[in-house]
Amino acid sequence: MTQTWDRITALFGAARLLDTSERKAFLDAACSHDAALRAEVERLLIDAAKDDTFLDEPIWAGLVSALPATSLTAGAVLKNRYRIEAPVASGGQAFVYHATDTVLSRKVIVKVMRGSGSQNLSIKARFEQEMTALSRIDHPGVVGIFDVGELPGGYPFLVIQFVNGTSLREELQNGPLEGHRVARLLRHLGSALGAAHAAGVVHQDLKPENIMLQRSDDGTETLKLIDFGICKVERSGLQRGVTSVTVAGTIRYMAPEQFHGEHAPACDTYALALVACEMLCGHPDSRALPKSADVETRTLIESALAFRPEDRPVDVQHWCEQLANALVKEHQVRGRALGVAAALTVAAAAVTLGSWYPPRSTTEPRRIIEKVGAFDPLVEGFLVHNEITGTVADNPQRNGFDGWRVSTGRQGHYFKNLTTEEKRRALDRGWRLTSVMRLEEGRCFTVVDFTGVGRRFDIDVDRVTGHDRVRLQTQIVPSLEGLDWTPAATDDAYHVYDLRYDPAALGADLWVDGVKRLTGYRGHSQFQQDGDLLFGVAVFEGTRAVASFQDVRFEINP
């Protein structure tokens, strides 16, 4: 069945690009001996061509349109003062319009909440929060609020300062920004966010789209944070008696705890660190920072991306200053080095200076190939093999979730492929496979499989009648039984399993919680499963396997 549907899909994919006559000829040739297959492909072509909105919009689009809504037409005047000009956008909770303040003859933004306050107290409360939040902050880097009101039917609206400029997102279309400029922007961002946090306001949806860049007449660049649309105001005591979890924001920049509805200032620090990465290298991902990035820069960025909010820097403004200083210093050092290079070879220096912080070259393998954290492995680009379910795992302190809890009734894993180049480099230079995992039942494992090179390295942790056993592969051929180690006591805490491969010794050593436990593991050549890098769970003398993975990481030595 699987193969049939894949085949139907493949033929469908080729046929849909052809016109009617070509399509017929193509199907004649491709399905010459299989009328049933042809019928299925044709049926798929017909069904796919049907005009249908099924799944057309992401799920939340449907949810939003289910909200009671209102909209204004151009020319409408609110409060005898604000004339609606044109719609700007409609976000999750609001319609946004360009408008003119006819009293002061200036452009403003009018934001009408989708929900009527009289129908939905939560929307009204949220609107009032935003209003209170914005009016509490008085900072040139934060968009100002001018007025509030309510449309007939109870739809509240805000009148907000019109910010002329380009968004950081538009600016980034032209590639990463120069280091000095990133430093300047970071100082502005730190100051604006610092003011918001001091006023008890967390932005919660920081991203390049919400950072507007402005250039004044003398050429200096400033910025404004906009769209505090999902702001949560601390101490506002919203909705007493109901445990309310607001999941909103842009997934890419969301801190892990935001998925659980926690919105402390630390989530802005997290988002800001990703924005800083994006300004520097074009990707909101610290792994994309070039190898040449300064250690201090990298350390600062990684500290702000700590999984637990309490591990991130407390003062976002101070952090921005530190990062800005590090970037300026780095640029100066690099500038001097380049000056020497320029004197030696003009052409080479010109190339280097042209892109001081180039986006990562696609031919250079990433040092860290994968990290899971408590994020959904699927989001990290893993695929699933067999039946497996994943949920986030709470940590014992109950102050958030800190692992990805995987369970199965048989065997299942997440997997990902490595490129041939990555495999070759890994075996040439050495590598390290680190897993932070917690076994509850059955077996959990992490594996790196160099298919084609003929070797595979497994870390298996088994729980049998209350005993843990850690094995470096096994299976099928009894004489190839691998190395194993039995911990003194069984517990269900997280442990760090760290397999390090030394190319000179052609073998790997296993470190558990920082102590070397097994040496000389040379891998094996049995089994090739889906993917080259995989982790998961399997039933072992039971009916169910459950384990949590906090981190799975594969690093190739530089």
Partner 1 sequence: MRRILVDHARASQAKKRSGDGAQIVLDAFDVVPDHASTEIIELDQALQELEQVSSRQAKIVELRYFGGLTVPETAEALGMNPRTVDRDWAAARVWLRRRLRP
Nearer to partner 1, 5 or 485 (CB): 5
Residue 39 in the binding site for partner 1 (CB under 8 A): no
DSSP-assigned letter for residue 142: B
Q: 3-class SS at 536? A: strand
Nearer to partner 1, 82 or 382 (CB): 382
Q: Which of positions 440-459 make contact with partner 1 (CB under 8 A)? A: none
- The minimum distance between CB 394 and partner 1, in angstroms, equals 14
- 434 phi/psi in degrees, rounded to 5: -115, 130
- The minimum distance between CB 454 and partner 1, in angstroms, equals 24
Nearer to partner 1, 14 or 427 (CB): 14
Nearer to partner 1, 161 or 417 (CB): 417
- Cβ(423)–Cβ(452) below 8 Å: yes
Residue 237 in the binding site for partner 1 (CB under 8 A): no
Residue 51 in the binding site for partner 1 (CB under 8 A): no
Site string for partner 1, 252-291 (x = CB under 8 A): -------x--------------------------------
* Part in contact with partner 1 (CB under 8 A); list of ranges 18-26, 206-214, 265-273, 377-385: 377-385
- Cβ(75)–Cβ(123) below 8 Å: no
**What does the H/E/C string look like for 266-312?**
HHHHHHHHHHHHHHHHCCCCHHHCCCCCCHHHHHHHHHHCCCCHHHC
Q: How far is CA 8 from CA 2, 21, 286, in A?
A: 10, 19, 40
- The minimum distance between CB 246 and partner 1, in angstroms, equals 5
Residue (of 461, 474, 556) closest to 513 by Cα position:
461
Residue (of 385, 325, 314) closest to 186 by Cα position:
325
Residue 417 in the binding site for partner 1 (CB under 8 A): yes
- The minimum distance between CB 59 and partner 1, in angstroms, equals 6
Nearer to partner 1, 10 or 505 (CB): 10
Options 102, 135, 166, 239; binder of partner 1; rule CB under 8 A: 239
Residue 477 in the binding site for partner 1 (CB under 8 A): no
Q: Which amino acid is at 221?
A: E
* Part in contact with partner 1 (CB under 8 A); list of ranges 65-73, 152-160, 262-270, 493-501: 65-73
Nearer to partner 1, 14 or 163 (CB): 14
Tokens found for residue 548: 């949590």
Residue 26 in the binding site for partner 1 (CB under 8 A): no
Residue 115 in the binding site for partner 1 (CB under 8 A): yes
d(CA 415, CA 328): 40
Catalytic sites, residue numbers? 205
Helices (H), 92-146: 121-136
Burial 355-385 (b: 16+ CB within 10 A, else e): ebbeebeeeebeeebbebbbeebeeeebebb
Q: 3-class SS at 123? A: helix
Options 25, 39, 48, 350; binder of partner 1; rule CB under 8 A: 48
Options 18, 63, 74, 103; binder of partner 1; rule CB under 8 A: 63
CB atoms within 10 A of CB 158: 22
Torsion, Cα of 147, 118, 238, 240 (10° steps): 160
Options 247, 350, 351, 368; binder of partner 1; rule CB under 8 A: 247
- Cβ(513)–Cβ(424) below 8 Å: no
- Cβ(491)–Cβ(477) below 8 Å: no
- The minimum distance between CB 244 and partner 1, in angstroms, equals 5
Residue 70 in the binding site for partner 1 (CB under 8 A): no
Residue 368 in the binding site for partner 1 (CB under 8 A): no
How many residues form the binding site for partner 1 (CB under 8 A)?
Answer: 50
Tokens found for residue 423: 């495999």
- The minimum distance between CB 449 and partner 1, in angstroms, equals 17
Helix (H) or strand (E) holding 14: helix 2-15
- The minimum distance between CB 68 and partner 1, in angstroms, equals 8
Site string for partner 1, 491-530 (x = CB under 8 A): ----------------------------------------
Q: 3-class SS at 520? A: strand
Residues that bind partner 1 (CB under 8 A): 1-2, 5-6, 8-10, 12-13, 16, 44, 47-48, 52, 54-55, 58-63, 66-68, 92, 115, 120, 122, 239, 242-248, 251, 259, 376, 378-379, 381, 383-385, 390-392, 417
